[in-house]
Amino acid sequence: MRFLEDLLDNFWNTHKNNAGVAYVYGHKLSIAWVVCVILAIVVGFVYQGKVAMFRGIAEASETIISVPSATEIVKVHVVPGQEIHAGDTIVQINRPDLTLRIAELTREIDALEGRSNLSSAEIDQKVADVKANLETRRLTLTAEIRNLEAEYNSNKAISAKLKSLSNSKSQSDGNDAMAMRIKSLKNELALATKSANEQIALLRGSSKLQKASGKNEAENLKKELEEMQKQQEELIQIAKEDWVVGDVNVRDGEKVSSFAPIVTLTHKSPTLVRGYINEQIYQNMDLGEAVKVTTLAGTGKAVVGEVVGLSSRIVAFPERMWKMPEMPVYGREVTIKIPENNPFLLGEMVTISETSGKKLKKNENK
């Protein structure tokens, strides 16, 4: 600072005869203020609507194990803080209502299939009875027709030999009556055959209809049974990927209400950051924008994250981010997705700053 003063004094002594230099030197305080104001305006214009840096907390995405109905805990296989891997058993659950419903569906399906088989047998028996009655009626009518035809042919032969009686009206009337009787019996046989065939067709049609109806009902029950059995298999909760057990909210033998959290699982390393921007500062940030996340101390390699969520209302900062106790701070919450391979600890406070790229996807494409 002393060096600058000496430098300015030497410059003044050298150029004090210059009117311009003398004017500037005489109004140096005013000119300094003007320069500061101009610089402030320029900086404000360049960074308007921007926050160069804000803070957040590194967190991991969670999954909560729960079931949609009242359950009973058989056994819990994990403890809080335990690392589990894909294929590990987490908890065994029992649902008495599910077991009861599976038994009911099994009985209903068996009964329905039994009734269907019984109905088919009954219809087949009725068809056989109709055929038997038709055969009996056919034999009776056929025998009677055969006898009448024999008698009719005999009468015709006698009439041909007795030419003297060929014009006899009584003989002619008798033959005509017999012919009409034979024709009537043949019509009766044809009608009986047609009626029996119609009865058989109707019985077989009703059999197909009953089978189709029973089949549809059985298929619906079987689908429900498959769904119930699938839910029963899910009563043994098995990890599908690597997790860290967060909270265990139940004990062995405890009864749990529907949708109550049983076990909470989190990832081992943070997968997102919840940042908080003070409400007194306007932040022009967009979804998909790239940001840089570092530790508070600024050590270690920075991680590039992507803004995936912006709150639409003002929320309270976490208590640990208050500058003074009992003086809450409010602002806007920003959710940032970060790669799983990162140096942060769960719950660690981090610093978030803007990067030169506006959109993470654009940077990746480049």
Residues 316-338: tens digit of each pLDDT: 999 988 888 888 989 889 999 99
- 40 is written with which tokens? 């402030």
- 160 is written with which tokens? 């041909």
Question: In the structure, what pLDDT confidence band is assigned to residue 362 with cuts at 50, 70 and 90?
Answer: very low
Which candidate, 350, 340, 342, places its Cα nearest to that of 267?
340
Query: With contact defined as beta carbons under 8 Å apart, do 238 and 77 qualify?
Result: no
Considering the domain architecture, whether residues 121 and 71 belong to the same structural domain is answered as no
How many domains are contained in the chain?
4
Give the DSSP H or E segment for 108: helix 96-161
Question: In the structure, what pLDDT confidence band is assigned to residue 49 with cuts at 50, 70 and 90?
Answer: very low
Considering the domain architecture, whether residues 132 and 221 belong to the same structural domain is answered as yes
Considering the domain architecture, whether residues 329 and 286 belong to the same structural domain is answered as yes
Considering the domain architecture, whether residues 135 and 206 belong to the same structural domain is answered as yes
Considering the domain architecture, whether residues 53 and 151 belong to the same structural domain is answered as no
Least confident of 89-98, 148-157, 162-171, 219-228: 162-171
65 has pLDDT over 70: yes
286 has pLDDT over 90: no
CATH number of the domain to which 146 belongs:
1.10.287
The domain in which residue 256 lies consists of 67-93+235-261
Considering the domain architecture, whether residues 271 and 249 belong to the same structural domain is answered as no
Task: Kindly state the average pLDDT of the residues 185-212.
Answer: 76
Mean pLDDT of the chain: 79
> Residues near 282 by Cβ (< 8 Å), separated by ≥ 6?
49
Between vectors from CA 210 to CA 209 and to CA 213, what angle results, nearest 5°? 85
Considering the domain architecture, whether residues 80 and 136 belong to the same structural domain is answered as no
Considering the domain architecture, whether residues 130 and 226 belong to the same structural domain is answered as yes
The Cα-based distances of 277 to 98, 166, 187, 304, 315 in angstroms read 49, 130, 101, 18, 10
- Interior/surface letters 1-27, b for 16+ CB within 10 angstroms, e for the rest: eeeeeeeeeeeeeeeeeeeeeeeebee
DSSP-H helix ranges across 162-260: 169-233
Considering the domain architecture, whether residues 119 and 170 belong to the same structural domain is answered as yes
CATH number of the domain to which 339 belongs:
2.40.30.170
pLDDT recorded at residue 154: 82
Considering the domain architecture, whether residues 196 and 207 belong to the same structural domain is answered as yes
| 73 φ/ψ angles, rounded to the nearest 5 degrees | -80, 120
Considering the domain architecture, whether residues 215 and 277 belong to the same structural domain is answered as no
28 has pLDDT over 80: no
Q: What is the DSSP string of 60-92?
A: --EEEE--SS-EEEEEE---TT-EE-TT-EEEE
CATH number of the domain to which 242 belongs:
2.40.50.100
**pTM of the complete model:** 0.46
Specify the higher pLDDT residue, 50 or 203: 203
pLDDT recorded at residue 21: 56
Query: With contact defined as beta carbons under 8 Å apart, do 293 and 305 qualify?
Result: yes
Residues 78-115: tens digit of each pLDDT: 999 899 999 999 999 988 888 888 888 888 887 777 66
Considering the domain architecture, whether residues 55 and 40 belong to the same structural domain is answered as no
Question: In the structure, what pLDDT confidence band is assigned to residue 262 with cuts at 50, 70 and 90?
Answer: very high
157 has pLDDT over 70: yes
Measured CA to CA, the distance from residue 194 to residue 9 in angstroms comes to: 135
> Residues near 12 by Cβ (< 8 Å), separated by ≥ 6?
21, 25
In the chain, what is the greatest distance between 2 CA atoms, to the nearest angstrom? 181
Least confident of 53-67, 78-92, 122-136: 122-136
Across 124-138, 191-205, 350-364, which has the greatest mean pLDDT? 124-138
| 95 φ/ψ angles, rounded to the nearest 5 degrees | -120, 100
Which candidate, 246, 259, 251, places its Cα nearest to that of 92?
251
Query: With contact defined as beta carbons under 8 Å apart, do 218 and 109 qualify?
Result: yes
229 has pLDDT over 80: yes
- 84 is written with which tokens? 């589990």
> Residues near 213 by Cβ (< 8 Å), separated by ≥ 6?
none
Q: Which of these three, 261, 276, 305, is where a domain ends?
A: 261
Which candidate, 181, 176, 171, places its Cα nearest to that of 145?
181
The Cα-based distances of 64 to 132, 248, 271, 331 in angstroms read 70, 10, 16, 28
DSSP designation for 163: G
